[in-house]
Structures are given as C-alpha cells and as structure tokens.
C-alpha cells in the first residue's frame, strides 16, 4: 500500500511538473509570442516610426530641406538667371526710342523768346519764328527737367517749308556734337543724336550765306511750328 501510495504521489508530482512545464512552456511561447508581437509591434512601430520619420520627418523635413536646398538652388538658379538676363541684356540692342514727354521741357531762343514755347505747345498752327532772315548767331534751345537721353529731334515747318534751315549745328550741354540730319519731307528736319543723357540741347542756324537770291534771303526766316523728339 505504501508503495502504491508512493507511486501515486510520484505520478501526481510528475503530472504536476508536466503541467507546470507545459504551462511554463505554453506561457513561455506566449510570452515570447507577446514579446515577439511586442517586438514585432515595436519593430513595426519603429519601422513605421522609422518610415514615418523617413517619409514624414526626414522625408518631409528632407523635402523642405530639399525644397530649401532647391530654394538655394533656386537662388542659385536665380543667380544663374541674373547673369543670363544680364548677358541677354548685354547682347540686346539699345532700348527702342519712344516719343519724348515734352510737358516739362522749357524752350528759349535768341530772338522772340516770348513765343519760344509755341514750338512745344502741340498746336501745329502756332510757331516760334525769328521774324527776320536767318543768321548763324540765331539759336533755339530746350532745357530738360532732368538728364534726358534724346535720340532724335524733329523740327516741323510743313506749313512754310522755306522757314526750315537746311544746315544747323547742335550743342549738347554747351558742347558741339556730331549728328545726322535728314529731311524725310519738305519742312521736316530730323536730327539724329547719340542718345547720351543731357540737360539741354541748343540748335543753331548755320546756313547763312547760301547761294540763294536776295529776295529769298529776305523771306527765309527760321520758324519751328513743332519741335518733337524721341527719347530712350
């Protein structure tokens, strides 16, 4: 009986131990599963965090940085554009001449100065005139409110073409300058200038002494109905 009891107790102990072992074994896998799951979750979380950091923080941060890098690249590109524009600007022809704003121009003349402004009033029927035959000492001057790059000056005398001098001299800021005169039609004298900024331009009649009949000399005054121009 004692042997049987001992055997039974031994079997029970073995069973218990097996159960415990089984519980431990089962708990252990569960723990390891949980740990694994936690690890997996952790890995997944880290992975997600990592991918989040890559796509979000690093990715987004990287992209803004890349964007800021591309911004500096933009400034670099901008830096490249400026020289290009400057280069293109350097290769371009001078700016096209446009009609000058004459509203602030001031006209003076060697004779009949009181009507010099008539050459700038925009009325083709009014004029500045010398009222006497042309002489090489006669001049007509325009002062600008600020240095102005005048490309051309046009002296209009279509209503009385004989009053347009064929030969003139031009002083810019008190110094004689070279220019190209043309007469596209009777009574219109165009003076093509260098377009250098200037504060004043003086036009001087210089065709006195031309081989013309005396009576024509008496009739040939100097008049300007309108003085127009183009500026840059």
User: Based on the domain organization, do 136 and 160 belong to the same domain?
Assistant: yes
User: Based on the domain organization, do 117 and 186 belong to the same domain?
Assistant: yes
pTM surpassing 0.75?
no
Residue bearing the bigger pLDDT, 169 or 16: 169
Question: What is the separation of C-alpha 24 from the centre of its chain, rounded to a whole number of angstroms?
Answer: 81
Total count of domains within the chain: 2
pLDDT at 92 over 70: no
Q: Give the strand pairing for 221-224 and 128-133.
A: antiparallel
The 10s digit of each residue's pLDDT in 23-76 is 333 344 443 343 333 333 333 333 333 433 333 333 344 444 443 334 334 433
pLDDT at 210 over 80: no
- Which of 58, 92, 126 marks a domain boundary? 92
Within 8 A by CB and 6+ apart from 155, the residues are 164, 188, 189, 190, 191, 203, 224, 227
The pLDDT, as a whole number, for residue 111 is: 97
Distance CA 160, CA 150 (A): 26
User: Based on the domain organization, do 69 and 175 belong to the same domain?
Assistant: no
Show the DSSP H helices in the chain as ranges: 2-51, 58-91, 214-219
Residue bearing the bigger pLDDT, 221 or 35: 221
User: Based on the domain organization, do 197 and 123 belong to the same domain?
Assistant: yes
85 to each of 80, 81, 82, 95, how far by Cα in Å? 9, 6, 5, 15
Query: How does residue 90 score in pLDDT terms, banded at 50, 70 and 90?
Result: low
Q: Using an 8 Å Cβ cutoff, are 77 and 87 in contact?
A: no
**Residues of the chain above pLDDT 90, percent:** 47
* Paired strand residues for 171: 176, 202
Q: Domain of 47?
A: 1-92
148-171 mean pLDDT? 93
Distance CA 158, CA 124 (A): 9
């Amino acid at each position: 009986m004692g042997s049987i009891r001992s055997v039974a107790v031994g079997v029970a102990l073995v069973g218990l131990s097996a159960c415990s072992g089984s519980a431990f074994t089962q708990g252990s896998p569960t723990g390891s599963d949980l740990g694994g799951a936690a690890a997996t979750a952790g890995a997944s979380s880290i992975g997600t965090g990592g991918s989040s950091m890559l796509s979000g923080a690093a990715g987004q941060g990287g992209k803004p940085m890349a964007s800021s890098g591309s911004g500096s690249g933009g400034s670099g590109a901008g830096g490249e554009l400026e020289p290009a524009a400057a280069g293109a600007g350097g290769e371009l022809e001078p700016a096209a001449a446009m009609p000058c704003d004459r509203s602030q121009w001031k006209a003076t003349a060697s004779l009949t100065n009181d009507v010099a402004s008539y050459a700038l009033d925009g009325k083709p029927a009014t004029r500045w005139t010398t009222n006497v035959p042309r002489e090489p000492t006669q001049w007509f001057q325009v002062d600008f409110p600020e240095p102005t790059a005048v490309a051309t000056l046009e002296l209009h005398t279509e209503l009385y073409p004989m009053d347009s001098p064929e030969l003139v001299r031009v002083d810019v800021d008190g110094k004689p300058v070279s220019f190209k005169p043309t007469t596209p039609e009777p009574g219109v004298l165009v003076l093509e200038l260098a377009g250098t900024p200037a504060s004043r331009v003086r036009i001087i009649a210089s065709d006195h002494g031309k081989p013309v009949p005396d009576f024509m000399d008496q009739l040939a005054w100097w008049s300007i109905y309108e003085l127009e121009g183009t500026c840059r």
